[in-house]
Amino acid sequence: MNFTKDPEAVLDYTIDWTKWLDEVGDTIATSTWTVPTGLTKVTESNTSKLATVWLSGGTVGTNYTVTNRITTVAGRTDDRSITILVRER
């Protein structure tokens, strides 16, 4: 997934794990976001099916890959990544 972000914006990005979690009959126990240098992780949170990160900053013209790793109640671990395209808007 690609998202466009202005360097001055502070925005939230969510990964919806519902489909996969429903298939395996599980829920999120913990969620951690890995954010590359240049972007700032303001905060992160999760529900039993969604993982959210709030980001600020970034350099115009740069694409950043941000990765969410969850661990489920049953002990499964999986990653999903999104790309943040920083552009003047």
Q: What is the predicted pLDDT for the residue at 4?
A: 97
Q: Model pTM? A: 0.95
Distance CA 51, CA 33 (A): 9
Distance from C-alpha of 17 to C-alpha of 84, rounded to nearest angstrom:
19
- Work out the pLDDT band at 21, boundaries 50, 70, 90: very high
Separation between Cα atoms, residue 5 and residue 57, nearest integer Å: 9
The span from the CA of 81 to the CA of 69, in Å, is 9
Collapsing DSSP to helix, strand or coil, 27 comes out as coil
Q: What is the predicted pLDDT for the residue at 9?
A: 98
User: What digits encode the pLDDT tens for the residues 52-67?
Assistant: 999 999 999 999 999 9
- Tell me what pLDDT residue 26 has: 98
Residue 32: predicted pLDDT: 98
